[in-house]
Amino acid sequence: MALTETRPEAAAPDAPPEAATPVTTTWLTASDHKTLGRLHLLVAFLMLGVAGVLSLAMRIQLTGKDLTVLNVRHYGQVVTLHGVLGVFLVLVPVWFGLAFAMVPLQIGARRLAFPRLCALTLWLLVAGAVLILAAPFTRQGSPSTGWALTTPIPDRGVSPGHGADLIILGLGVIAVAIVLGAVNLLTTAVTMRAPGLTLRRLPLFTWSIVVSSAVLLLATPALLGGLVLLFVDRHYGALVLDPRRAGDPQVWVTLFWFFAYPALWAMVLPALGAVSEIVQTVSGRGLELREVAFGAMAGVGVLAFTGWGSEALSLTTTGQRVVFGITSLAVLAPAAAVAGTWLLTLRHERPALVSPLLWAAGFLALFGLGLLGRAITALWPLGKAGHLSYFSVAGQHALFFLVPIVGALAAMHFWAPKLWGRHLAEPVSVLSLLAVVGGAVLLVGGMAAAGLQGMRIHLSAYPGHGDWQAANVVATIGGFVLVLGIVLVVANLAVSVGARRGRDAGVNAAWQGDTLEWWAVSPPPAHNFDALPDIRSDRPLADLRAATTAAATASATASSASADGGGG
Amino acid sequence: MAVATAPAPSATLALPGPPGPVDAPSGAGASRVALLLAIAADLMLFGALLAAYFDVRAGATPWPPHHVKLEDYLGGVITITVAMSAFSVQWMLSAARRDDRRTALVAMLLTLGLGAAVVNAQTFEYGKVGFSTRTHVYGSLYHLLTGYYLANVVAAAVVLAVVGVRVAAGQYGSGRVDAVRGAAHLWQFTNLVWLTVFLVLYVVK
């Protein structure tokens, strides 16, 4: 697989216009990292639509004390599907898409290390999506276990239907895709960097992708191993997870969370990298304490591997509560430190309030809420804000879903000139930002309040608990506003890019970016760069501008000096 | 087409040191890096299976169950075969480094032959052990660990065959050996997997 090598494509000076080939052929045969990146984003948005509809159905159900929009079994199935889709087919493809599209541009490469492996990653994700989406159409439907596929799936070798099998297979295919994508991105960042672009000079987004890919590379095999155990237990009579025959179902739970906890942080990391780029670019200066941000991102990646126990274990002993309380708190510190470098950078400036920065501000608000929520859950793991409370559901959704999504939307507004050759329309973009962040705050705020009033996870009704209703109504309203915001983003994309109404990216000065992706024209051609500038720092284009200004000043001084000399 | 626009490339001349522009990197050594990363992921998968083994082992008595007796001589034969293939694959690599295509091809075929012998011995043992994945949880874990090893041998053999044929065809050689090195790393990784499986199933038990 990794042996397939691509010859450097000869730059075709007069490539035939894309309109000549039908779009399906272009997509099916794509090996260009930008096209494939956009296709990953397309998959992510399609699946976001499905997951969004499922989530709204659950939210509508919880608006009343005892509604039956969905019966208990269907509600459980929707819980499973919305989680599986949201993490594996929204967060994974959205960050893979942005990483595949932007990392080669940021490091001055003409392609990914393995362009066709990138295509394989995309199509494996699509295959996984098909398998998972087929699950609800089996006779017994998808399992009602939540996305962690816990009891009864690992408890019994007996199959509760093919829905669970389809989800296990789909996740297996996606796990392979994640490993291949991580190998591709890491190899690209290691072997394809432009001369002079040392590891320490890596753009912050590329660095966050390096850390995130390393986390995924080492965490995802645990999921794959667990899925193999589930599958052979269900179909080949193995007994590893069967407690009646000396097996242990906790093996699956532990392997799953050994994967899932770091993997969720791996979805937050690229958002930290992307927002760092936005802050650096909009402020027009280098990120303050850049080394701290670099180290903190790596710290998040390392510490993310220590916190799995807080989700996988029932925390019955004081020892477990103390150890995993500390580890789940520890990972929050470097994450907050990255945000600290943004505030330091913006302290001296009055930056232009362009849409990427506004999205970054919205991101920061949600990020703060998410960190706070997770800290509270880590400190009081058993209480009304603990791991089985609806409060922790709110915290998880804030930090591990909404934060990555808003970060990705910020990144898409920032890099739209590179991704699509156009800017998105600013007024719509601000409106959608307000809806997304406002809706998200209402949603997680309402959920957290319901949790503090005693609501637990995975409830489909709460008869006799009328006081939970107000908070749930707020959360549902927030959910609808959030979805409206996402619809606005999609509409903005469709109109600005599809109908070519947005501000033309035109000249490359887009945001006066300092990293190599802004050296390529917008949108970049198939081979990205004809030639690269000399790289002597982490902001090569800022160096160039400074050198140009210095040269202009010098020649102006020289000419005025010679004019003075002539006069005297 | 696609000429890099502002700032003007001539501005690079104003920077100290040799002037740009420089060419885009070609990604030399990517195959080996990618295979090393894939090995790291593979190792984590192995770790997950070992964790399952030791977790279940800790909670089950007796371990291994009564009437389970693995034939030490079969494990020994596989270990010796694996050790020989560790040398033959390095022989292939050194031949590729010298551009000695014929020797590289012979070494590749020898390594694949030893790999086939290992698969043969292991499947022979499957017929002799007298239990299956369904018999008891030890049987499940025994087949998972050895099955994981066999799957790795087959995958590494495919990679080795592709690389070996490309060495024989002159596509890889002294000038470009990173894919051959990567394939050799992968093969040696399967050898380490066997050594661990041997220690776990035959020695530690």
pLDDT, one tens digit per residue, over A65-94 is 888 888 888 999 999 999 999 999 999 999
The pLDDT assigned to A563 comes to: 61
Is residue A522 pLDDT above 80, yes or no? yes
Q: Select the residue from A1, A3, A110, A112 to test the B interface by mutation, using most B Cβ atoms within 10 A.
A: A3
Q: Could you say which DSSP state residue A261 is in?
A: H
- Of all residues in chain A, what percent carry a pLDDT higher than 90? 62
The pLDDT assigned to A217 comes to: 98
Q: Which residue has the higher pLDDT, B62 or A24?
A: B62
Touching check for B133 and chain A: CB below 8 Å? yes
Is residue A8 pLDDT above 50, yes or no? no
pLDDT level of residue A158 (50, 70, 90 thresholds): low
Q: Which residue has the higher pLDDT, A1 or A25?
A: A25
Instruction: Tell me if B6 and A509 make a contact (CB, 8 A cut-off).
Output: yes
Span of A284-298, A492-506, B132-146 with lowest mean pLDDT: A492-506
The pLDDT assigned to A313 comes to: 81
How far apart are alpha carbons B117 and B124 in whole angstroms?
Answer: 10
Query: Residues A131, A221: contact at Cβ < 8 Å?
Result: no
The pLDDT assigned to A268 comes to: 97
How far apart are alpha carbons A56 and A4 in whole angstroms?
Answer: 44
The tokens of A489 are what?
Answer: 């983003």
pLDDT, one tens digit per residue, over A256-276 is 999 999 999 999 999 999 999
pLDDT, one tens digit per residue, over A417-446 is 899 988 888 899 999 999 999 999 999 999
User: Mean per-residue pLDDT for A238-262?
Assistant: 92
pLDDT, one tens digit per residue, over A50-61 is 999 999 999 999
How far apart are alpha carbons A46 and A50 in whole angstroms?
Answer: 7
Contacts of B21 in chain A (CB under 8 A): 531-534
Residue of B nearest to A13 (CA): B1
Over the Cα atoms of chain A, what is R_g? 25
Nearest to B20 among A191, A242, A532 (CB): A532
Instruction: Tell me if B27 and A109 make a contact (CB, 8 A cut-off).
Output: yes
The pLDDT assigned to A344 comes to: 93
pTM of the shown model: 0.92
Query: Residues A108, A529: contact at Cβ < 8 Å?
Result: yes
Instruction: Tell me if A246 and B182 make a contact (CB, 8 A cut-off).
Output: no
Q: How far is A534 from chain B (nearest CA, A)?
A: 5
Q: Facing residues of B193 across strands?
A: none
Instruction: Tell me if B9 and A533 make a contact (CB, 8 A cut-off).
Output: yes
Instruction: Tell me if A255 and B30 make a contact (CB, 8 A cut-off).
Output: no
The tokens of A433 are what?
Answer: 């930002």
The pLDDT assigned to A13 comes to: 41
Longest dimension (CA), chain B: 81
Instruction: Tell me if B6 and A222 make a contact (CB, 8 A cut-off).
Output: no
Query: Residues A399, A371: contact at Cβ < 8 Å?
Result: yes
The tokens of B118 are what?
Answer: 């290992």
Q: How far is A194 from chain B (nearest CA, A)?
A: 5
Touching check for A240 and chain B: CB below 8 Å? yes
* Residue B29 CA neighbour count, 13 Å, CB half: 10
Instruction: Tell me if A219 and B9 make a contact (CB, 8 A cut-off).
Output: no
The Cα-based distances of B55 to A393, B20, B68, B138 in angstroms read: 30, 58, 19, 12
Touching check for A17 and chain B: CB below 8 Å? no
The pLDDT assigned to A235 comes to: 87
Of A352, A382, A216, the residue nearest A279 (C-alpha): A352
Residue of A nearest to B158 (CA): A1
Residues within 8 A of A (CB atoms), B 151-190 only: 159, 162-163, 179, 182-183
Residue A514: is it exposed, middle or buried by C-beta count within 10 angstroms (0-12/13-18/19+)? buried
How far apart are alpha carbons A18 and A20 in whole angstroms?
Answer: 5
Instruction: Tell me if B4 and A519 make a contact (CB, 8 A cut-off).
Output: yes
Contacts of B182 in chain A (CB under 8 A): 2-3
Instruction: Tell me if A232 and B133 make a contact (CB, 8 A cut-off).
Output: yes
The pLDDT assigned to A385 comes to: 85
User: Mean per-residue pLDDT for B138-162?
Assistant: 97
The pLDDT assigned to B25 comes to: 67
The number of C-beta contacts closer than 8 angstroms across A and B is: 228
The pLDDT assigned to A12 comes to: 40
Is residue A16 pLDDT above 50, yes or no? no
Is residue A157 pLDDT above 80, yes or no? no
Instruction: Tell me if B47 and A222 make a contact (CB, 8 A cut-off).
Output: yes
Instruction: Tell me if A239 and B134 make a contact (CB, 8 A cut-off).
Output: yes
Query: Residues A413, A359: contact at Cβ < 8 Å?
Result: yes
pLDDT, one tens digit per residue, over A271-322 is 999 999 999 999 888 899 999 999 999 999 999 999 898 888 877 788 888 8
Instruction: Tell me if A534 and B17 make a contact (CB, 8 A cut-off).
Output: yes
- CB-based contacts of B2: which residues, under 8 Å, 6+ apart? A11, A520, A521, A524, A525, A527, A529, A530
- Of all residues in chain A, what percent carry a pLDDT higher than 70? 92
pLDDT, one tens digit per residue, over A360-379 is 999 999 999 999 999 999 99
Touching check for A558 and chain B: CB below 8 Å? no
Touching check for B27 and chain A: CB below 8 Å? yes
The pLDDT assigned to A254 comes to: 94
Helix or strand run (H / E) with residue A296? helix A290-303
Average pLDDT, chain A: 89
Is residue A27 pLDDT above 80, yes or no? yes
The pLDDT assigned to A59 comes to: 95
The pLDDT assigned to A159 comes to: 55
Longest dimension (CA), chain A: 104
Highest mean pLDDT among A133-142, A367-376, A546-555, B12-21: A367-376
Is residue B12 pLDDT above 60, yes or no? no
How far apart are alpha carbons B24 and A136 in whole angstroms?
Answer: 48
How far apart are alpha carbons A65 and A271 in whole angstroms?
Answer: 36
pLDDT, one tens digit per residue, over A178-199 is 999 999 999 999 999 998 999 9
The tokens of A189 are what?
Answer: 């960042």
Instruction: Tell me if A193 and B56 make a contact (CB, 8 A cut-off).
Output: no
User: Mean per-residue pLDDT for B140-158?
Assistant: 97
Contacts of B52 in chain A (CB under 8 A): 225, 229, 240, 251, 255
Instruction: Tell me if B56 and A246 make a contact (CB, 8 A cut-off).
Output: yes
Identity (one letter) of the amino acid at A397? H
Is residue A95 helix, strand or coil? helix
The pLDDT assigned to B11 comes to: 35
Is residue A548 pLDDT above 70, yes or no? yes
Touching check for A348 and chain B: CB below 8 Å? no
Q: Select the residue from A114, A187, A209, A242 to test the B interface by mutation, using most B Cβ atoms within 10 A.
A: A187
- CB-based contacts of B23: which residues, under 8 Å, 6+ apart? A531, A532
Touching check for A255 and chain B: CB below 8 Å? yes
Touching check for B204 and chain A: CB below 8 Å? no
Contacts of A529 in chain B (CB under 8 A): 2, 4, 24
Query: Residues A283, A539: contact at Cβ < 8 Å?
Result: no
User: Mean per-residue pLDDT for A546-565?
Assistant: 79
Touching check for B35 and chain A: CB below 8 Å? yes
pLDDT level of residue A568 (50, 70, 90 thresholds): very low
The pLDDT assigned to A2 comes to: 37
pLDDT level of residue A498 (50, 70, 90 thresholds): confident
pLDDT level of residue B16 (50, 70, 90 thresholds): very low
pLDDT, one tens digit per residue, over A93-147 is 999 999 999 999 999 999 999 999 999 999 999 999 999 999 999 988 888 888 9
Residues within 8 A of A (CB atoms), B 47-86 only: 47-49, 51-52, 55-56, 59-60
Is residue B28 pLDDT above 80, yes or no? no
The stretches of A331-468 forming alpha helices (DSSP H) are 332-347, 355-379, 390-397, 403-420, 426-452
Span of A298-302, B158-162, B178-182 with lowest mean pLDDT: B178-182
Q: How far is A399 from chain B (nearest CA, A)?
A: 26
Query: Residues A258, A337: contact at Cβ < 8 Å?
Result: no
Is residue B145 pLDDT above 60, yes or no? yes
Q: Alpha carbon A34 to chain centroid distance?
A: 17
Is residue A504 pLDDT above 90, yes or no? no
Instruction: Tell me if B25 and A218 make a contact (CB, 8 A cut-off).
Output: no
Q: How many helices (H) and strands (E) does chain A have?
A: 18, 0
Touching check for A253 and chain B: CB below 8 Å? no
- CB-based contacts of A2: which residues, under 8 Å, 6+ apart? A114, A117, A183, A187, B31, B34, B35, B38, B182
Q: What is the 3-state secondary structure (H, E, C) of chain B?
A: CCCCCCCCHHHHHHCCCCCCCECCCCCCCHHHHHHHHHHHHHHHHHHHHHHHHHHHHHHCCCCCCCCCCCCHHHHHHHHHHHHHHHHHHHHHHHHHHCCCHHHHHHHHHHHHHHHHHHHHHHHHHHHHCCCCCCCCHHHHHHHHHHHHHHHHHHHHHHHHHHHHHHHHCCCCECCECHHHHHHHHHHHHHHHHHHHHHHHHHHHC
Q: The complex's ipTM?
A: 0.91
The pLDDT assigned to B3 comes to: 41
Touching check for A231 and chain B: CB below 8 Å? no
